[in-house]
Amino acid sequence: MGDRRDYNILAIIFFLLLLAHPTISDVSKEGNNSLSVYSLVHLSDTQNLASFHPEVYNHTFSYLESIKEVQNISAIIITGDFVNTYDNETEWNAYRNAINKTSIPVYATAGNHDTAYGLVYSFFSQYTGNTKPYSVTSINDFNLVSIDYSIVSLASHEFQSIRDKMDQYPHSFTIIATHHYMEPDGSLSLLGENIDKELIRYPTLVMAGHRHVQSISTHIVDQYPVIVDIANYQDGDSQGMNRTDHSAGTLFTVTSRNGVVEKISSRIIRIFPDPVIGQEHVVYEL
C-alpha cells in the first residue's frame, strides 16, 4: 500500500489538471457561441383602459408579470396614448397603478392624447419620467430609439443626434418606438417618412400605434428590412371582439447568438377578457 504522501501528491496533480482543462460551460464561453432566447411585449393606445376600465389596466400588467418567467419577457414597450385626456390625473394614476403590477421594465413613448397633440408634455413627463422628445438606449441585443408624438416631425439636427447616440452602442438591430408612424390609410406620416430616411441603418423593428388597426408589415429601406407592428386594440380586434375593455398586444420572441439577432417571431397576445397567445409567425430571419 502506497505512502499517504503519494496520495496527497496525486490529489494535487489531479486538481492542477482540472484547473488546466476547462469545463463544458467554459468551453462554450470560450467558443463564443452564446445563444439567447427572450421576449418583448408591445402595447399601444391603452387609453380606454385608463378612462373606463382601470381594473383591466391593472390586470394587463399583472398578467404579463404572471407569464414573465415562462416567456422570458425582458421589456414592455408602450407606444403612446396611455390616457384619453392629457391632463386627467385620474387616468394617469390608473396608468401608474397598472405598471406597478409588474417588475418588467416598461418603456414609454408619448402619443397625441398624452400631450394635447404635441403641445403639452408636462403630464406625460411627470407620470413616466421621460423629459426629452426622443431617447436612445440599449435593451438586450437592440438599440431602442423612442420618439414622442410630434405635430410634424423632428428637426434634422435631432435626427443627427439620434444617429450619433446609436453609434455609441454596438448593436446591429434597431427598435424604433413611436406613436404616429402611419396615417389611417396606411401611408407613412411625415415622421414615418423621416424615420425611414434618417434612421434606417440596420435591420429595424418599428413599433407604433395611432392607426386603429392591428397589423405587421415589412418593407425595405436601403437594403435593410423594416418590420412595422401597429398594435392598436382600443376598438377591439379583427376577430370581432369589439369592446372598450379589450386588452391585447404583440409578443415578440427573439433568438440571438453572440449578440446578433438571428430570428424574430411575433404572436398576438390577448390578455382580456380571455388570455390567449396566438400562432407564431416568423417576421425576421438572418
Give the mean model confidence (pLDDT) for residues 245-250.
95
Q: In which element (H, E) is residue 218 found?
A: strand 214-221
Give the helix/strand (H/E) hosting 194. Answer: helix 190-199
pTM of this structure:
0.88
Per-residue pLDDT for 105 more than 70? yes
Which of 231, 239, 242, 171 has the alpha carbon at shortest distance from 207? 231
Q: Which of 28-42, 179-193, 223-237 comes out lowest in average pLDDT?
A: 28-42
CATH class of 34-285: alpha beta
Nearby residues of 177 by Cβ (< 8 Å), 6 or more positions away? 77, 79, 107, 109, 144, 145, 146, 147, 206, 207, 208
pLDDT at 4 over 90: no
Region 248-258 average pLDDT: 97
* Terminal C-alpha separation, the chain: 63
